[in-house]
């Protein structure tokens, strides 16, 4: 019997992390969890430690780590509790670890994901910001170490499945003409633009097809999530912006497609459940069970497709602009978006203020070449400062009812 695949799960208490552990639990003979990490969710991480008995558990917050340590000790577990970003990097590059599920949301996932790449690990990449912010640095590290990179986003995983295995020779060399990146359109696909002024965080987080965290749900509602995925696809598949087409597909059954020079279009279909791409990456190159219900085509009955409305979804247009600008522009875009989304969720910024904050940051900060991680971090920090200033200048939203107190640039 082959040795078990030994795994670190970064962001184990988030939606991707929970789904990953669900798949792992279905195959106790194939996988062993070495490390689990979270931000501050002590209770959830403790329960995961009880179930999987990892060697390490990491929390970013020191006080939370102390709480977890006491509970781990009382339960008689041998799990070592660590804290901080340095600890995340450590468990991502442990000699005994084969694979790293990189599922920390946002810029916080960059350093541990890069540590895994430099250590030559098999990386299951769910943290799109790693490629958006530092695509060149990260991909160089993957190539230099011989790391294996498998995308977890359902769209990129679908593209990966629909490409020939030797696509690294170049898309043109393997006959690929376009990547067709599908998007659900989120909860506001058909909502009048004027109605979006008064959208609440609860409405933005109510995705019609997927169960996701609050930040990524807002990104889906604004279609920034798709914009970040366009940039991610550029780095994963060495595809220029004009060969990546976003296709709005409300049913979320076709997860993405690849168009070939002979007129063929290959697609990957499945129910909207993240356990499918997770299981594909965990088992690659073999297929393993994911616990996902079979796709019932007769129940679906129809598949619809639309062009994205760049006026309604300005965030998508801004992402394309940042990709074409290159250098630090995507990092500026991502940082400003994180600040704007956090402000929206805190009811300090209206929904339509999100693209305004991002656009302001892109206008105020000139894109610079990216030669090292420090270039990215400097751009990220400056963009956050500019975005915070922009948030404060746009006014606040009252908590009840949810209406604007200040005029909004649209």
Three-state SS letters, the chain:
CCCCEEEEEECCCCHHHHHHHHHHHCCCCCEEEEEEEECCCHHHHHHHHHHHCCCEEEECCHHHHHHHHHHHHHCCCCCEEEECHHHHHHHHCCCCCCEEEECCCCHHHHHHHHHHHHCCCEEEECCCHHHHHHHHHHHHHHHHHCCEEEECCHHHHHHHHHCCCCHHHCCHHHCEEEEEEEECCHHHCCCCHHHHHHCCHHHHCCCCCCCCCHHHHHHHHHCHHHHHHHHHHHHHHCCCHHHEEEEECCCCCEEEEEEECCCCEEEEECCCCCHHHHHHHHHCCCCCCCCCCCCCHHHHCCCCCECCCCCCCHHHHHHHHHHHHCCCHHHHHHHHHHHHHHHHHCCCCCCCHHHHHHHHHHHHCCCCCCCCHHHHHHHHHHHHHHHHHHHHHCCCECCCCCCECCCCCC
Same domain, 148 and 166: no
Q: Is residue 331 part of a domain?
A: yes
CATH number reported for the structural domain that contains residue 168 in this entry? 1.10.1740.10
Same domain, 126 and 213: no
CATH number reported for the structural domain that contains residue 25 in this entry? 3.40.50.720
User: Of the candidates 88, 121, 152, which is a domain's last residue?
Assistant: 152
Same domain, 44 and 14: yes
**Confidence at residue 406, expressed as pLDDT on a 0 to 100 scale:** 31
User: Of the candidates 152, 179, 194, which is a domain's last residue?
Assistant: 152
Q: Is residue 367 part of a domain?
A: yes
Nearest to 361 by CA among 341, 342, 380: 380
Same domain, 252 and 375: yes
Q: Is residue 269 part of a domain?
A: no
**Confidence at residue 395, expressed as pLDDT on a 0 to 100 scale:** 60
Same domain, 256 and 115: no
Same domain, 85 and 111: yes
Q: Is residue 65 part of a domain?
A: yes
Q: Is residue 109 part of a domain?
A: yes
User: Of the candidates 119, 152, 185, which is a domain's last residue?
Assistant: 152
Scan for tokens 């393997």, then name that residue. 174
Domain of residue 59 covers 5-152
**Confidence at residue 321, expressed as pLDDT on a 0 to 100 scale:** 97
Q: Is residue 23 part of a domain?
A: yes
Same domain, 184 and 125: no
Q: Report the domain count for the chain.
A: 2
Same domain, 42 and 180: no
How far is it, in rounded angstroms, from Cα 113 to Cα 104? 9
Same domain, 45 and 66: yes
Same domain, 232 and 337: yes
Same domain, 115 and 192: no
Q: Is residue 274 part of a domain?
A: no
Q: Is residue 285 part of a domain?
A: no
**Distances in Å between the alpha carbon of 256 and those of 146, 157, 161?**
27, 8, 10
Average pLDDT of adjacent 10-residue blocks, the chain of 410 residues: 89 95 97 96 97 97 95 97 96 98 87 96 93 93 96 97 95 97 88 83 76 81 94 97 96 96 97 96 97 94 93 95 97 96 94 96 96 93 97 61 33
Same domain, 212 and 348: yes
């Amino acid at each position: 019997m082959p040795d078990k695949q030994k795994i670190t799960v970064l962001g184990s208490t988030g939606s991707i992390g929970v789904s990953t552990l669900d798949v792992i639990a279905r195959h106790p003979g194939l996988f062993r969890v070495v490390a689990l990490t979270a931000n501050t969710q002590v209770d959830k991480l403790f329960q995961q430690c009880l179930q999987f008995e990892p060697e390490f558990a990491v929390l970013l917050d020191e006080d939370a780590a102390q709480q977890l340590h006491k509970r781990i000790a009382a339960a008689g577990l041998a799990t070592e509790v660590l804290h901080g970003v340095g600890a995340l990097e450590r468990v991502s590059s442990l000699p005994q670890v084969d694979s790293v599920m990189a599922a920390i949301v946002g810029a916080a996932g960059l350093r541990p994901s890069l540590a895994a790449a430099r250590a030559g690990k098999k990386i299951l990449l769910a943290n799109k910001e790693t490629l958006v912010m530092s695509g060149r640095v990260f991909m160089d590290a993957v190539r230099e170490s011989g790391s294996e990179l498998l995308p977890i986003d359902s769209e990129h995983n679908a593209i990966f499945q629909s490409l020939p295995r030797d696509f690294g020779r170049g898309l043109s060399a393997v006959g690929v003409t376009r990547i067709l990146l599908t998007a659900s359109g989120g909860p506001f696909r058909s909502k009048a633009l004027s109605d979006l002024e008064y959208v609440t965080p609860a409405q933005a987080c109510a995705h019609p097809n997927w169960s996701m965290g609050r930040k990524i749900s807002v990104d889906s509602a604004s279609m920034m999530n798709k914009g970040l995925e366009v940039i991610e696809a550029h780095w994963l598949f060495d595809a220029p912006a004009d060969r990546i087409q976003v296709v709005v597909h409300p049913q979320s059954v076709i997860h993405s497609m690849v168009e070939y020079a002979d007129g063929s279009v290959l697609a990957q279909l499945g129910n909207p459940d993240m356990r499918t791409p997770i299981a594909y990456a965990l088992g690659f190159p073999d297929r393993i069970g994911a616990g996902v219900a079979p796709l019932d085509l007769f129940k679906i009955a129809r598949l619809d497709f639309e062009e994205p409305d760049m006026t309604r979804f300005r965030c998508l247009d801004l992402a394309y602009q940042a990709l074409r600008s290159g250098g630090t522009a995507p990092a500026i875009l991502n940082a400003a978006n994180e600040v704007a989304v956090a402000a929206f969720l805190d009811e300090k910024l209206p929904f339509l203020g999100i693209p305004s904050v991002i656009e302001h940051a892109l206008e105020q900060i000139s894109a610079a070449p990216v030669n090292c991680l420090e270039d990215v971090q400097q751009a990220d920090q400056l963009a956050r400062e500019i975005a915070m200033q922009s948030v404060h200048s746009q006014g606040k939203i009252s908590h009840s009812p949810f209406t604007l107190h200040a005029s909004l640039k649209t």
